[in-house]
Every structure is written in structure tokens, then in C-alpha cells.
Chain A
Amino acid sequence: MCGIVGLLIKNPALRGQLGAWMVPMLGEMAARGPESAGMAVFTQALPSGQRKYSLHAPAWDYDWGAFEGEFVKRFGPEAELGVCGNHAILTCDEPLDKVKPWVKASHPALHLLSAGKTMDIYKDIGHPSTVAERYGFSALTGTHLVGHTRMATESAVTPDRAHPFTAGEDFCLVHNGTISNPFMIRRRLEHHGIVFDTDNDTEAACRYLEWRMQEGDDLETALTRGFEELDGFYTFLIGTGDKLALVRDAFACKPAVVAETDDYVAIASEFRALAHLPGVDNARLFEPMPEELYVWKV
């Protein structure tokens, strides 16, 4: 099992409610994945040239002050670090291909969870309600989010193997199911110089789809190609800077249900995670069909 939640707020006046509406969704899906949880939240895009990086440290009392000092020394003072325990969001005007190698070389204990102009990521092991409280998910604001509760099947229970997985910039994916050919995908991508962070099957799907987009596919084309290339069972929920996308494999044995109103689109593995949402009684409710694309734009 595993639980998936997604929310895209269409009505700009309600975007302050994003986190508050999502926390009960995540809590309800804890039964499907009680051991880890994660959340990608998409906020207003940074000004041109700026980037933000979500970082995860091995300890709650990590010396972020020292990290920031070294970063400023290396890249200059135009950087901000927002710390929340073992997570931090670094905002600066340095590109990914400079920041990633520097973090890896000078702070090897840190995981670089995400990069981009709109996306922040929080993920950790623990009960989803505890994780939500730990990082103040209820206060998150923004346009859309992608969340996950994990029951591990394919790799160990560690923070970096929790979902969402990311690749490139402003691209994340959560997964309920199992990919059967992750090592084949991985070997193919490694030929193109793509480096994996974990041995997790979902990471292979995430990096495959993002690689297709780097190669020129749009999201919809990449997902359609994924139906041919990614073997296994899956419901995927994908977040990009301006889109939320939902797909299920041909056998569709991993669930999903969608509630759509004029104000929002909400997605969860099961309806009980949507039951509390305002206006859900009058929402258009449906289940996504196998091998069909469901894409919503902010």
C-alpha cells in the first residue's frame, strides 16, 4: 500500500488554506502508509535568476549556522536560509549545477531534496500526522501540493526513500504501487549521465519522466511514453511548477479518486481522505481510468 494526496487550489482567495485542508487528507491516508510521509508544496515563483533548494539533515540539531556561513563564504552574501529542524530551504541566485556538487562535497551528510523556483519539499520517517506537525504542514500556503504516506515494499525506510521524489527542477512524483523494471530504467538513464540518490523504484520512474522532459517531451507526452516504458503497478501523482498530473497503469489495481469543484481539485487514494473538504458534497467525483492522462493547470 501507500497513500497519495494532492490538492490544487483554483480560487486564488483560498490559497492560504492549502496546508490546512491537506493535513486531514494526509492523516486519513496514514492507515495506508504509517511509516513515512512527505509533501511537496508549490508557491509563487521566485524572481528570475533565483533558486530555492530543500535540504534534509541527518539530525534535528544540525549546525545550519555553520552551513550558511560556508555557503556565503563560497557564493557570496545573497542567500537566505529558512530552517525547520532537520529541514532547511536555501534561497539564492546560484544554479543547481553549482549548488549540488558543492553540497555533496562540503556537506555530504545533507540530502538535497529539491531544486527550483516554486517547489519546497519536506519528507521524513515517522507517522504522517507526526511528520505533518513536525514541519507545520497546516500553515503551508501556495497553489498546489503533492503528498504521500509510505508503506515500504521496495527499499528501506529512510528519509531519502520517502516520497515525493524529485528530479531536475520543480518536478516531483509520488507513487502507490511497484515498478517492476526500475533497474533497467536506471541503467538506461545512467548512460545519459543521470545520477540516482537511492535504490528506490519510484526514483527510477521520477527520473525517467523528468529526463523525457529534458529531452523535449512535454509532460503529457512523457507520461504517455511512460505507459510503454514503465512496467508495474502504479498510480502516479506528479507536480510541476504549474501542473498537477494523475495517471494509473493499465491494470489500475492501485486506487485514486478525484473531487473537483470550481475552487479546487483534490486527489486521494480513497474518498475518506476527501470527505472533510468544504463543498465536497457538491463536487464532481470520479475515479481516473487506466492509461488516461489527468492534468490540471494552475
Chain B
Amino acid sequence: MESVMQHQPVGTEVKEFDLERQSVRDLNQFLHHGLEGSAIRSIEIANPGGRHAIAAGVNHPVDIEVRGHGGYYLAGMNKHANVTVYGNVGWGVAENMMSGSVRVKGFASESAGASGHGGTLIIEGDASLRCGISMKGIDIVVGGDIGNYSAFMAQAGHLLVCGDAGHALGDSIYEAVIYVRGRIKSLGADAREEAMTDADYAKVAQLLGKAGFDHNPREFKRVASARQLYHWNADANQEY
């Protein structure tokens, strides 16, 4: 599995893209093929204008700053890069992320961090429905609230929510762990609240530190799998 250590850029130069004048394809082709062996340390992206797939598929330690609102799949499949969005993002930010980090200063639309394998996704505002759906090892930290059906079938990793959680939190969850500071509207099938351990408090403190959020880990509760859906139960009569 990919190391979870932070990937520091080694270059010194800054390169700028303006998406009013250049296409997302130009940007992404450069990010995929132009960084290896270059002296570039960071990429500045102006006028994102809600365009889709900005900085998707990067596989290089580089800082990427997006100056505005992104569209769907921003930093999707990210590996090694550290991406910061000074705005909101559309569906599927950092979906299938492998490593590195993505920080969204505004809010994130649906399915943030979907299927993420590694790295850290920080959303300073709210995250919409299905945050962390099918997450597979990513750590997601949300400063605000999360919408319904979040962490559905979440397999591994951590979802930390500083605000409230919507309905059906952690439905059919596997081995991922959820920490919520606020209110939970309802838990999904097989998700249950569990006692916090010292290891949980340490993990919450670590994630809050990474995100730069100033909350007391003692305010968080833990939600994880009751593991009752792991095996077929013929007597359940399709009621879970």
C-alpha cells in the first residue's frame, strides 16, 4: 500500500495556468508529462470557472493552487501532489485519491473522496451527500457538516466531521472509522456508535492537527461497523 507520508516537492519554480486562455487538457497534459525532471515546485491555476477534472490524475510531488471554484473530479486519482482549492468544488473531489493531500477552502459537492485509497482530503466548509462513499483508506476531514448517506460501504480510512452528519451515516460500513463532533441525524444499517479509546483520541488529534482545526478530541464520538452484515443471515428476512 502507498505510504501515507507527506510528499514534498523538490523543485523551486512556479508555473501558471489560466483556464480562461488554456484548456483543462493543456493543464492536465502538462501535469501528467511535464513535471518529471523539471524544477517546478508549484502550479498556480487561475480562473477555474467550475471546469471539470482540473488536476486529475497527477502522479508527482508538486503543490497545486486552484484560485477559484472547481467542477467535478478535481484532483481525482491524485498521487503525491498537494492540491489547495481557494473556492468550492463539484462532485467527486479527490475521488480515488491514492496519496498526497487535497484541501478545499469552501464547500464540496457530493461524493467527496469517493473510493479514495490514501492521502488526506480536507474540506473546510460543508461536504454534501455521500461524502467518503466506498472509501478505501483515505482520511477525510470536514470542517462543517456532511450530507446523507456519507461513508456508505466505507472500507478503510477515517472520516472526521467537525459539524453534524446527515441520515444513514455509515450504511453498510466495513472497517472505516467515522468520528463526528456534532449531531448525527441517523445511522445506516450496521453502523453503530462505539466508545472512544485512547487510540481514537490520538487519531482525532492527529487529523485535527493535519487540518489545522482547533477542536477538543474529547468532543468527538466514534461510529464503526457492528459487523453484522459480514455474513449472510437467512433469518434476517431482508430486514436490516
Contact = CB atoms under 8 A, between A and B. Distances in A.
A285 B109 CA distance: 12
Given A255-B109, A271-B69, A287 B50 contact: no
B88 A272 contact: no
A81 B52 CA distance: 44
Contact of A275 (B69, B72, B107, B109): B69
14 contacts: A251-B129, A252-B129, A253-B110, A255-B90, A255-B110, A257-B109, A270-B90, A271-B50, A271-B88, A272-B50, A275-B69, A285-B88, A287-B128, A289-B147
B50 A290 contact: no
Nearest to A28: B50
Given A252-B128, A273-B50, 13 more contacts: A251-B149, A252-B148, A257-B109, A270-B50, A270-B72, A271-B50, A272-B49, A274-B50, A285-B69, A285-B88, A286-B107, A287-B109, A290-B148
Contacts of A275: 49-50, 69
B71 A272 contact: yes
A253 B148 CA distance: 11
Contacts of B106: 285
Given A255-B91, A287-B128, A290-B148, A271 B110 contact: no
B41 interface: no
Interface in B81-137: 88, 90-91, 106-107, 109-110, 128-129
A70 B66 CA distance: 61
Interface string A265-283: 0000011111110000000
Nearest to B70: A271
A151 to B, nearest CB: 16
B51 interface: yes
Contacts of B52: 272
Contacts of B107: 285-287
B112 to A, nearest CB: 12
Nearest to A271: B50
B121 to A, nearest CB: 18
Q: Which size class do B's interface residues fall under?
A: 10 to 19
A271 B148 contact: no
A172 to B, nearest CB: 26
Interface of A: 251-253, 255, 257, 270-276, 285-287, 289-290
Nearest to B48: A275
Nearest to B129: A252
A31 to B, nearest CB: 9
Nearest to B71: A272
Nearest to A276: B49
Q: Which of B49, B71, B72 has the most CB of A within 10 A?
A: B49
A272 to B, nearest CB: 3
A243 to B, nearest CB: 25
A285 to B, nearest CB: 6
A25 to B, nearest CB: 12
A275 B109 CA distance: 16
Contacts of B148: 252, 290
Q: Which of A251, A272, A285 has the most CB of B within 10 A?
A: A272
Contacts of B128: 252, 287
Contacts of B129: 251-253, 290
Interface string B33-59: 000000000000000011110000000
A43 B68 CA distance: 34
Nearest to B108: A287
Q: Which of B50, B72, B110 has the most CB of A within 10 A?
A: B50
A255 B106 CA distance: 18
A289 B107 CA distance: 13
A255 B109 CA distance: 9
Contacts of A286: 107
A281 to B, nearest CB: 8
Contacts of A251: 129, 149
Contacts of B51: 272
Rank and list the top 3 A-B pairs by shortest CB-CB distance, nearest first.
A272-B50, A271-B50, A275-B49
Nearest to B148: A290
Contacts of A257: 109
A274 B87 CA distance: 14
Q: Which of A273, A285, A287 has the most CB of B within 10 A?
A: A287
A285 B104 CA distance: 15
Nearest to B91: A255
Contacts of A289: 147
Nearest to B111: A253
A248 to B, nearest CB: 10
B114 to A, nearest CB: 13
Nearest to A272: B50
A11 B235 CA distance: 63
Contact of A271 (B90, B147, B149): B90
